[in-house]
Amino acid sequence: MVMSKSNSQGLITWISEDAVELCLGPPVADQTLLKVEKFARWARSEDPIWLVDYCYGFGILSMVVRPERIAIDQISEILSDVFAESGCTIYGESHSSIEIPVCYDAALGLDLQSVSDLVRLPVEGLVDAHCSRD
């Protein structure tokens, strides 16, 4: 039997004995991504004992929970509070860019040659092109 509970964010549905789904909105809409970020920040900071794991995809937030520690009404109330919190942005208040370390050593960059072949640039040209961008 599937149990559902509607809240201000959408429909929360038990999809198995320990999994819950919440439709957050259209998959790549800014508001949907803001909700995902809000939930992720909340989950990292609060580390709720009832939440085992979660993932997001195609507009759906899926959560693996400990059903003996929480009811669907409680999840609905908690998520309403989480999504009502203000001040959260996708990249955080103080970050305007994300830096990702890159290594161009052939021994470590296992896909370097295949990317070079794909874009039809020599490896050196690919590295130069990548390094010249901000």
Q: Residues 77, 112: one domain? A: no
Written as six digits, the tokens of 125 are 């040209």
Name the residue range of residue 123's domain.
99-134
pLDDT tens per residue, range 7-30? 444 578 888 889 999 888 888 788
Give the CATH number for residue 56.
3.30.1360.40
pLDDT tens per residue, range 84-131? 754 443 333 444 455 667 777 777 777 888 888 888 889 888 888 877
Q: Residues 119, 59: one domain? A: no
Residue 47 pLDDT: 93
Tell me, yes or no, whether 121 lies in a domain. Answer: yes
Tell me, yes or no, whether 49 lies in a domain. Answer: yes
Q: Residues 66, 118: one domain? A: no
The Cα 76–Cα 112 span in angstroms is 46
Q: Residues 79, 104: one domain? A: no
Written as six digits, the tokens of 85 are 């919190």
In this prediction the pTM is 0.56
Residue 8 pLDDT: 45
Tell me, yes or no, whether 89 lies in a domain. Answer: no
Tell me, yes or no, whether 16 lies in a domain. Answer: yes
Q: Residues 62, 32: one domain? A: yes
Q: Residues 20, 72: one domain? A: yes
> Which residues make Cβ contacts (< 8 Å) with residue 71, sequence separation at least 6?
none
Tell me, yes or no, whether 93 lies in a domain. Answer: no
